[in-house]
Structure 1
């Protein structure tokens, strides 16, 4: 804190405490003129209500004095009066450092144990799942929701099923969290509005969803354009992050309008890399929790 700001804070503290302390000392001693009946002469409701004058209660005086003593003691022990550091030398940075160190000391034995197992085995450790859940909710839930059910509006996939854009092995999940992922579905509006509609019907037919057979037949030859990423059978390609179109899981929605929008306008998805924010050990633990969500029979109750 600069000298100027320090002086300003000291001025404000002194002014506020000075005024209130003066009023505290002056209030019990001030003499207020009163009428013979002990009232001030102020009346309301045509004289029905009259303002009385009484001394401040002793309990109020003692309690207020104790608050002033506590305030002055605080300013002496802790920082708060300008740049004065306080007699105890306490700082918020020091408090945080002590708490972080204590937390790391508590977690160290667990982390050492977690490192011994790959993601697929670590998912069976209740402590690892609990820690992974906390980390997931703090960092991943904004897009995938606390339930990990995903968010169609954001294109964030459901992590509780067994459908994976980039692979669902422990290594694949760890890589997704550590490095992030970026996917692009190019727009195909250049095919023409009718062809986009026909192609959307063919895509629906791949998963056995209700569709217009005539339009699907017309759209089938056009799918050759999509096969480069999604495969000739529409099963997708995890190396590219191209989704499987033959199931009933839709990243951006599976209605006719949403599929037509995906084809015509394209889509872009970005999973940020969490390596700058989370340590490798934390990522390992989150990966175990995510793996658990789609592989454990009780995942829906977690």
Structure 2
């Protein structure tokens, strides 16, 4: 805090506490003119109600005095009076560091236990799932939603459906979280508008979705361009992050317009690496939670 701001804060503290303390001392001693009947002369309801004048109750005087003592004590012990650090030397940064250290010391034995098991087995551990859920909601829900159902507008995949771009094993999921993923679907507008539409109908046919059979037949030879990534049968390629086009799971939407846009304009997806933010142990816990979401009835976790 600069000297100017420090002086300004000190001025405001002295002004406010000075005024209130003056009123506190003056209030019990203030002389208010009264009538012989002990009222101030203010009346309502045609004289039925009259304002009485009485001393402040003792409990109010004592309670208010105690509040001033507490306030002055706080300003002496803790930061609050400009740049004065307080006699205790307390800081919010120090408090945070202490709490983090206590939390890490509490979690350390748990994290050591988590290291003993693969992600698949860890996905049945209630403590790991509880921690993984919190970490997921804090770090992943912004794109994948709290429910992990994904977000078509962002191209964030549904993590609960068992369909995986880069593989769904514990190791694959851990790698995706740790290192991040970047995928590019190149634009194929150069094929021409009609060919893009025909190719979109063929892609729809691969998943058994309603489609124009004639246009799909015309688009089938064009799919050879896509087979390099998606495979000749459209089953995808986890090594490249090329999605399976036959399973009715759509990353960017399943409408004809969505598919034509994906083909004509291309798509880009980026999953950031979380290793700079999360520890290896935390990443394994998140991976276990994600694995659990997509394997709710996995017998290996019984």
TM-score for both structures, normalised by structure 2: 0.92
Q: Aligned residue for 1:60?
A: 60
2:94 aligned with 1:94, yes or no? Answer: yes
Q: Distance in 2 between matches of 1:93 and 1:5?
A: 20
Q: 1:131 deviation in Å?
A: 1.5
2:24 aligned with 1:31, yes or no? Answer: no
Q: Aligned residue for 1:69?
A: 69
Q: 1:7 deviation in Å?
A: 2.4
Q: 1:121 deviation in Å?
A: 2.6
Q: Distance in 2 between matches of 1:44 and 1:221?
A: 95
2:188 aligned with 1:225, yes or no? Answer: no
Q: Aligned residue for 1:111?
A: 111
Q: Aligned residue for 1:288?
A: 288
Matches within 5 A, 1:1-302: 1-42=1-42, 50-297=50-297
Q: Distance in 2 between matches of 1:45 and 1:239?
A: 87
CA deviations 1:8-66 (Å, max 9, x no partner) are 22221111110100011111211122344444444566666654433323322222111
Q: 1:100 deviation in Å?
A: 1.0
State the number of aligned residues: 299
Residue 10 of structure 1: SS of its match in structure 2?
Answer: helix
Q: Distance in 1 between matches of 2:69 and 2:298?
A: 57
CA distance change for structure 1 residues 74 and 224 in 2, over 3 Å: closer, same or farther? same
Q: Distance in 1 between matches of 2:267 and 2:46?
A: 77
Q: Which runs of 5+ in 1 are unaligned?
A: none
Q: Distance in 2 between matches of 1:29 and 1:252?
A: 76
Q: 1:73 deviation in Å?
A: 1.5
Q: Distance in 1 between matches of 2:46 and 2:200?
A: 83
Residue 269 of structure 1: SS of its match in structure 2?
Answer: strand
Residue 146 of structure 1: SS of its match in structure 2?
Answer: coil
